[in-house]
Amino acid sequence: MKKISLFLISFLFLISCKSEKTTESHRYNGEALGTTYNIRYFSDRDLDFEKSLDSIIEEINSSMSTYLVKSDISRINRGDTTVTVDKNFEKVFNASNKIFKESDGFFDPTVGVLVNAYGFGPAKPLKSISADSLDSLRNLVGFNKVTLTDKLTIKKEHPAIYLDFNAIAKGYAIDVIAEYLESKDVENYLIELGGELRAKGENLGNNANWVVGIDDPEQVDGERRLQARVKLLNSAMATSGNYRKYRVDSITGQKYVHTINPKTGKAEKSNVLSASVLAENCMLADGYATAFMALGIERSTQLLKELDDVEVYILYSTPAGDMDIFSTPGFKENILD
């Protein structure tokens, strides 16, 4: 009888100790990779998160930031063939190559020379772009002209080819942060960096799903209006779009945004106003969202027939000038009424 009593006391003591172990909410926000971040996770441990986050950002910047003159990608862009890239660069390169091929070249990290020429990048833009200068720039565009060798060096068909992973690197950074949190047994988190997102588990603050928003492209300055609210269930979401920056054709009334077509080298009209992508990781979501913006609604829907595990919510402009929605069934399941 005494043994049973002692066992019960010990068992109740263990339950009591376990119940005292609380999971706390941790919030962090700041600036990184040229944008802002907001991170929330739940843990009963002190992870020294800020120090680790700084280390992650520094490592990615030193590898792929086109704004840092001493980064690996900046040295490669200047024609340095001796640079041995790190695992971060390798993963982003391979993912970019995958999306480049699947999108028939509409997602292209070598479009950087055109991005700079039109004034959207870190380099000084051209005052004017003539037909001759455009032809010269187009010779430097094409991700198929760049090779990652077995020795992890970059081989380019022309030394002046300019690599720019900004359309996919933010998503990759989120994945690295997520991997770090999961390595510390964090099962519930939401990471937002420059509007791209990745979530796992639940918001334990209210014991509910993580819920994120998609902006309404037609909102005016000074207001925040959502087009949709989305449950983010152990997945990542990236949105690409020119909010508040679309134009209206004075004759047809159709809305459009300008996006650079890697094949023509021109900043052309796209009827996709925004593309939100759900994927298993944020790197792929980020890249596909950019690709859909360049592809337009017709080519985007064709590509989606060939992709697995990618769900999209596309806001596009009809020829009549109205805004319409294309959504895959998997994305619709996560939209809240």
* The pLDDT of residue 222: 61
* The pLDDT of residue 220: 63
Are residue 231 and residue 143 in the same domain, yes or no? no
CATH number, domain at 306? Answer: 3.10.520.10
Are residue 255 and residue 156 in the same domain, yes or no? no
Cβ-based neighbours of 193, under 8 Å, separated by 6 or more: 32, 33, 35, 36, 37, 170, 173, 174, 177
Is the residue at 40 inside a domain? Answer: no
Cα 283 to Cα 171: distance, rounded to the nearest angstrom: 4
290 is in an annotated binding site: yes
* The pLDDT of residue 10: 39
Are residue 158 and residue 273 in the same domain, yes or no? no
82 is in an annotated binding site: no
Cα 319 to Cα 181: distance, rounded to the nearest angstrom: 46
Higher pLDDT, 123 or 328: 328
Q: DSSP 3-state assignment of 178?
A: helix
> Is 270 in contact with 258 (CB distance < 8 Å)?
yes
The amino acid at residue 292 is F
CATH number, domain at 132? Answer: 1.10.3980.10
* The pLDDT of residue 264: 85
Are residue 297 and residue 211 in the same domain, yes or no? yes
337 is in an annotated binding site: no
Q: How far is CA 24 from the centre of its chain?
A: 28
Cα 263 to Cα 268: distance, rounded to the nearest angstrom: 11
Are residue 322 and residue 219 in the same domain, yes or no? yes
The string of DSSP codes covering 131-160 is HHHHHHHHTT--GGGEEE-TTS-EEESSTT
Residue 137 has pLDDT above 80, yes or no: yes
Is the residue at 195 inside a domain? Answer: no
Cα 7 to Cα 216: distance, rounded to the nearest angstrom: 61
Is the residue at 125 inside a domain? Answer: yes
> Distances in Å between the alpha carbon of 276 and those of 177, 187, 214, 328?
21, 25, 8, 11
* The pLDDT of residue 112: 81
Q: How many domains does the chain have?
A: 2
Residue 11 has pLDDT above 50, yes or no: no
Is the residue at 23 inside a domain? Answer: no
Are residue 240 and residue 152 in the same domain, yes or no? no
Look-up of token digits 């100790």: 17
Q: How confident is the model at residue 141 (pLDDT cuts 50, 70, 90)?
A: very high
Is the residue at 187 inside a domain? Answer: no
Higher pLDDT, 283 or 111: 283
* The pLDDT of residue 215: 86
Are residue 149 and residue 220 in the same domain, yes or no? no
Residue 18 has pLDDT above 50, yes or no: no
Are residue 211 and residue 329 in the same domain, yes or no? yes
Residue 255 has pLDDT above 60, yes or no: no
Are residue 318 and residue 221 in the same domain, yes or no? yes
The overall average pLDDT reported for the chain is 87
Residue 288 has pLDDT above 60, yes or no: yes
Q: Give the domain extent around 307.
A: 206-336
Q: Which long-range contacts (CB under 8 A, 24 or more apart) does 120-123 make?
A: 120/260, 121/66, 121/164, 122/66, 122/67
pLDDT tens, position by position, 222-238:
667 889 999 999 999 99
pLDDT tens, position by position, 35-51:
999 999 999 988 889 99
* The pLDDT of residue 99: 98
> Is 270 in contact with 293 (CB distance < 8 Å)?
yes
Residue 6 has pLDDT above 80, yes or no: no
Across 194-318, the runs of DSSP E, i.e. the strands, are 196-200, 211-215, 226-231, 236-241, 247-248, 255-260, 267-270, 272-279, 311-317
* The pLDDT of residue 249: 60
pLDDT tens, position by position, 265-277:
877 777 888 999 9
Residues in the chain: 337
| H or E, element range at 43 | strand 35-43
Cα 101 to Cα 135: distance, rounded to the nearest angstrom: 23
Span 289-300, average pLDDT: 94
What percentage of residues in the chain have a pLDDT greater than 90?
65
| H or E, element range at 42 | strand 35-43
* The pLDDT of residue 72: 98
Are residue 247 and residue 309 in the same domain, yes or no? yes
* The pLDDT of residue 116: 77
Residue 87 has pLDDT above 90, yes or no: yes
- Of the listed ranges 136-150, 168-182, 184-198, 219-233, the one predicted with least confidence: 219-233
pLDDT tens, position by position, 185-221:
999 999 999 999 999 999 999 999 999 999 887 666 6
Residue 53 has pLDDT above 80, yes or no: yes
What's this model's pTM, rounded to 2 decimal places? 0.87
Are residue 159 and residue 260 in the same domain, yes or no? no
Span 140-164, average pLDDT: 96
> Is 146 in contact with 154 (CB distance < 8 Å)?
yes
Q: Of the candidates 147, 166, 185, which is a domain's last residue? A: 166
Are residue 134 and residue 210 in the same domain, yes or no? no
* The pLDDT of residue 119: 72
Alpha helices in the chain (DSSP H): 2-19, 49-64, 72-77, 87-102, 112-117, 131-138, 166-183, 282-304, 329-332
Is the residue at 175 inside a domain? Answer: no
